[in-house]
């Protein structure tokens, strides 16, 4: 039977990478770690999380528990993250304790606190949507007078996949929401968005940087549902987005991969937010680029040379497999999906729940239209919510 001791190889030269979190990002990082001879150790809250089921070494504990974080870090070459849900103060304490955190707490905060990110990016001169931090109905009304109702409100911390983002239709709704958000709300106008883009770059602790192709992120219900690579936009706009991501990574001292989410608006590109970890917009890189974002993140945080980022095909499309309303498990439908020629199926070993990301499908092809049709067909076969 498996035992924890069996996964330790103190006598070898294997690098040990500790990751806070054990979800699908850590699961796919485990696949990359196997090939590189890297020992991945994850911090899981429960023993049935995806990366644990995938066989990563693990510690059980909460990311809110300093002792659990220290136990995770013990003997590891570096500590990194598969999510943002960790108290920034704890990260500073870990850093003080001598733990090698990549990215460093100050950089990570850009992904943890949307308000901080907006202010920092604006200060650095990058284009961001108009925003304010409102604590009172009067402040909301003043912002609405300038930009019109409805407004978009975001909780500065803790949101993801559309959670923590909602519209405010009028002052009454603003009052109700402010009552439940004592730390205030980040407000922005309801922007006219042509499309959402994601620009992923990687930076090694050595300072080396590489950029992936800029992709389009197709959203439904504020959740990324499809990625089109390369984004069907003109080369100049793509170049602009990639340059922005490279500059932010360099100036903020980011390490590992970073996904910059951008709005393509009539007023030009605006930076929405960023993730300092492998990201849904980069899942397509497993088959679609020479080096996957998961391998790239490991290289970056370990200070190893970065890998080539070119597409492996003219067009690559990823479609998320989202839990259907009937709660059916895509695991039971996998043979039907595998019958779709060219579909790369990835399941996350998560309990099926409506609206939950349970897996994804990637298709490499000659053009976006064909690849997208194939990927959508396979996702449907898996019972994905359309």
**String of contacts with a copy of itself for each residue 324-363, x by CB under 8 A:** -----xxxx-xx--xx-xx-xxxx-x---------x----
Closest CA to 301 of 334, 278, 272, 330: 278
Q: Is 305 in the site for a copy of itself (CB under 8 A)?
A: yes
Biggest alpha carbon–alpha carbon distance for the chain: 66
CB neighbourhood size of 386 (10 A): 9
Q: What is the smallest separation between the CB atom of 344 and a copy of itself, expressed in angstroms?
A: 8
CB nearer to a copy of itself: pick between 102 and 132:
102
Parallel/antiparallel/unpaired status of strands 209-211 and 195-203: antiparallel
Q: What is the smallest separation between the CB atom of 160 and a copy of itself, expressed in angstroms?
A: 23
38-77 positions binding a copy of itself, by CB under 8 A? 39, 47-48, 52-60
Parallel/antiparallel/unpaired status of strands 57-60 and 78-81: unpaired
For residue 150, cis peptide bond before it (omega within 30 degrees of 0): yes
CB nearer to a copy of itself: pick between 193 and 352:
352
22-41 positions binding a copy of itself, by CB under 8 A? 27-28, 30-31, 34-37, 39
Closest CA to 297 of 198, 377, 212, 363: 212
CB nearer to a copy of itself: pick between 36 and 191:
36
Identify the helix (H) or strand (E) that includes residue 243: helix 235-252
Q: 274-295: b or e for each residue (b if 16 or more CB lie within 10 Å)?
A: bbbbbbbbbbbbbbbbebbbbb
Closest CA to 41 of 2, 74, 67: 74
Q: Is 14 in the site for a copy of itself (CB under 8 A)?
A: yes
Q: Give me 61's structure tokens.
A: 């504990």
Q: Is 100 in the site for a copy of itself (CB under 8 A)?
A: no
Q: What is the smallest separation between the CB atom of 386 and a copy of itself, expressed in angstroms?
A: 21
Q: Is 145 in the site for a copy of itself (CB under 8 A)?
A: no
Q: What is the smallest separation between the CB atom of 72 and a copy of itself, expressed in angstroms?
A: 11
Q: What is the smallest separation between the CB atom of 359 and a copy of itself, expressed in angstroms?
A: 8
Q: Is 312 in the site for a copy of itself (CB under 8 A)?
A: yes
Contacts with a copy of itself by CB under 8 A: the residue count is 57
Closest CA to 153 of 162, 195, 161, 145: 162
Q: Is 268 in the site for a copy of itself (CB under 8 A)?
A: no
CB nearer to a copy of itself: pick between 16 and 111:
16
Q: What is the smallest separation between the CB atom of 243 and a copy of itself, expressed in angstroms?
A: 21
DSSP 166-209: EEE-SHHHHHHHHHH-TT-EEEEE----SEEEEEEEEE-TTS-E
Round to whole Å and give the CA distance between 278 and 202.
Answer: 10
CB nearer to a copy of itself: pick between 80 and 309:
309
360-379 positions binding a copy of itself, by CB under 8 A? 364
Please identify which residue in 81, 166, 284, 304 interacts with a copy of itself, judged by CB under 8 A: 304
Residue 361, by phi and psi: left (phi above 0), alpha (psi -120 to 50) or beta? beta
Contact 149, 168 (CB under 8 A): yes
State the DSSP code for 233: S
Q: Is 297 in the site for a copy of itself (CB under 8 A)?
A: no
Q: What is the smallest separation between the CB atom of 30 and a copy of itself, expressed in angstroms?
A: 7
Q: By CB under 8 A, name the binding residues for a copy of itself.
A: 1-7, 9, 12-14, 27-28, 30-31, 34-37, 39, 47-48, 52-60, 290, 299, 303-305, 307-308, 312-313, 329-332, 334-335, 338-339, 341-342, 344-347, 349, 359, 364
């Amino acid at each position: 039977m498996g035992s924890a001791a069996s996964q330790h190889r103190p006598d070898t030269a294997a690098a040990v990478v500790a990751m806070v979190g054990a979800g699908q990002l850590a699961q796919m990082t485990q696949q990359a770690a196997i090939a590189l001879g890297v020992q991945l150790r994850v911090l899981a809250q429960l023993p049935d999380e995806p990366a644990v089921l995938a066989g990563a070494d693990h510690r059980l504990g909460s990311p809110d528990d300093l002792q659990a974080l220290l136990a995770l870090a013990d003997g590891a070459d570096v500590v990194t993250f598969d999510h943002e849900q960790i108290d920034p103060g704890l990260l500073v304490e870990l850093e003080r304790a001598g733990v090698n955190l990549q990215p460093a707490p100050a950089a990570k905060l850009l992904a943890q606190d949307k308000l901080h990110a907006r202010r920092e990016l604006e200060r650095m001169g990058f284009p961001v949507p108009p925003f304010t931090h409102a604590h009172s109905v009067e402040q909301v009304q003043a912002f609405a007078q300038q930009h019109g109702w409805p407004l978009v409100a975001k909780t500065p911390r803790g949101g993801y996949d559309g959670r923590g983002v909602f519209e405010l239709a009028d002052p009454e709704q603003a009052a109700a929401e402010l009552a439940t958000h004592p730390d205030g709300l980040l407000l922005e106008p309801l922007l006219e968005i042509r499309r959402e883009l994601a620009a992923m770059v990687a930076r090694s602790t050595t300072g080396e940087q590489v950029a992936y192709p800029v992709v389009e992120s197709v959203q439904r219900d504020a959740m990324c549902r499809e990625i089109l690579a390369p984004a069907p936009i003109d080369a100049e706009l793509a170049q602009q987005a990639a340059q922005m991501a490279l500059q932010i990574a360099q100036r903020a001292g980011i390490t590992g991969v970073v996904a910059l989410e951008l709005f393509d608006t009539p007023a030009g590109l605006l930076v929405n937010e960023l993730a300092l970890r492998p990201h849904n917009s980069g899942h397509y890189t497993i088959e679609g680029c020479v080096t996957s974002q998961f391998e790239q993140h490991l290289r970056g945080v370990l200070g190893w040379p970065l890998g080539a980022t070119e597409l492996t095909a003219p067009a690559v499309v990823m479609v998320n497999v989202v839990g259907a309303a009937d709660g059916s498990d895509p695991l039971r439908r996998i043979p039907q999906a595998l019958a779709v020629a060219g579909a790369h199926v990835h399941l996350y070993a998560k309990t099926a729940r409506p609206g939950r990301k349970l897996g994804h499908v990637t298709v490499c092809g000659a053009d976006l239209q064909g690849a997208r049709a194939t990927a959508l067909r396979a996702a449907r076969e898996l019972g994905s919510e359309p």
